[in-house]
Structure 1
Amino acid sequence: MERLVRECFRSEGYVFARKAEEIAKERGLSRIARLASNENPRPPSPLAVELGCQALQRVNRYPDEKVRSLLDTLERHYGDYHFVTGVGMDGVIETVIRTLVDPGDRVAISVPTFSFYRLAAVAQGARVEEVRRNADFSVNAETFVRACRGAKLSFLCTPNNPTGTMTPPGELETILEGIDGVLFLDNAYVEFSGVDYLPLLEKYENLIIGRTMSKVYSLAGLRIGYAFVPGWLAPFYTRAATPFTLNTVSSETARGALLDRTHVEETVARVAVWRERFVRECPLPVTSSGANFVMVDVAPHTGDQAVELLAEQGVIVRSCRSFRGLPDHYVRVSIGEDWENELFLSAVRNL
């Protein structure tokens, strides 16, 4: 019966980082520096935990299908925008594709980048066109616009995963004015960048800005994504979405996280300090980053070889081999706890 499986799911899917527990057991290590998944090492805001625990007592009932309390909190936090939610930004991406893309439609993606855009588009039957970035991983707006002509949907990540590079708002204006479809701007790491892309929403009705609660808000385990969308799209997105997309605990925990600005400010300040130290003290070339990670050129090693060598010293980083369009001599290193970061700086010198 295996022959019935669709062709797009027969090849390799999303590539996950190896689990710390697996590596610790294999190598007999008591603790592992977990720097592969761009997680926030800080626990969630106490207010987020409090509201989540309160919501746990109500899970015998279905959640509010409109997640009205979370949407109200998002509006108070950011202003009068239209919002949609999903199970992680992955869920938002998947639903946007399901809403807009018919089998055979073109989808353009700026690469190298987060692999799920392509996986989700191909699963919907789209024809994907990958648009290479410049040698320094910046986006050439004119090249991207030319590739996007005739594409119903396009994806661009800033700060970009895994390179950490940012696309200036002015370049995005050139893109938004030149394309004839919708641009999905992935802002998963934007809180760490100091760049504000929200003013673009006031000028362009073909822009979606995706966000997540997994990074700066320390809620990766709850899978909470949301997006700023144009008003015309919101009702159609709701029809295409899976019923009861977010559960009660997730939506209430997210509300608490949004209400605690101190947690975010402290996290961003700490990441900025360590990001600078990684650039300054790492003996290998580090790409300038606006995210909570950096990308390191480990040549002449491959990414996989560097991962294994660092794992022997108790440090897990992410090989960038699975990122299409990126040469196989890079690793991505998250900013973790202080001891984890120090251990990485010590271990990487041995490469």
Structure 2
Amino acid sequence: MTGFATTRRGLLMAGGAALALGAWPRGLHAQEALKVAGIYTVPVEQQWVSRIHKAAEAARAAGQVDYVFTENVANTDYPRVMREYAESGVKLIVGEIFGVEQEAREVAADYPDVAFLMGSSFPPDEAVPNLAVFDNYIQDAAYLSGLIAGAMSKGNIGMVGGFPIPEVNRLMNAFIAGVREVNPATTFQVSFIGSWFDPPKAKETAFAMIENGADLLYAERFGVSDAAKERGVLAIGNVIDTQGDYPDTVVASALWHFEPTFDRAVAEVLAGTFKAADYGVYSFLKEGGCSLAPLGSFEGKVPAEAMALVAQREAAIRDGSFTVAIDDSEPKSS
């Protein structure tokens, strides 16, 4: 997921009522399951990709799709794999094209009868009407987790990310905003490891932050929570819920739910209405695309004032009276 611009051109998806989850057009249950393929550049266990895979597997289990996937696909091989699936009769291909934006769009243009739903930092292009884009716009949940972190830290927080790109920056900035609302004097240590999946490097980076006084870590990458556990400091998770694996370490997590995005795309393909659009809005909290994970073993350990603020802000986000800023700029250490 490297080699592309680090600025976002805005959310282009216009309004309009989303199809209710599971609200498939009449008669489609009697049809053959939609053939769907996933193409991923990392293992399906990786946080970000795991959410896509989980949503597709749920739809497969419900009999809505016939889902296959390929993981660990190098960017140089990505267009070839896209073509192979398109030639095989697959009707919807999902994946992430951050490192192969131009090549992927060229492939999609060659297969106008196949729908492509791709993670991308660029907007949809009407010249390629069968390619829609998405991203993990879970800034709402990241902000809420920041409110909790601000109440649990003494004022020195370490943040370890993969790359300083919009997909990461917006979550870190929303988290920082939440922390500062509770504790404005907090100091942040921010570092990017230059990889999407290098737990040892993330762990070593986190160790250095702890040595520099961090008492809470923002675990954007795998490996950070391991460092926190070993050194007895707290952590905030990202995209997936790891509280069960780190019951004494991970206080809260901002979860990404890809089901609203995936289900919408499948419904559009089945209805024959799939088009170039930005599906990013389906990751918003009010669309069911993100949430704050249950506190688990930290239930009752977070100050009541902080949890009251979390509940207040969550309700305001849902009713539209409060908006979490989407800030794609690179966060810096303070």
TM-score range, shorter chain: 0.3 to 0.5
TM norm structure 2: 0.36
TM-score scaled by structure 1?
0.35
Higher RCO (CA 8 Å, separation ≥ 6 residues): 1
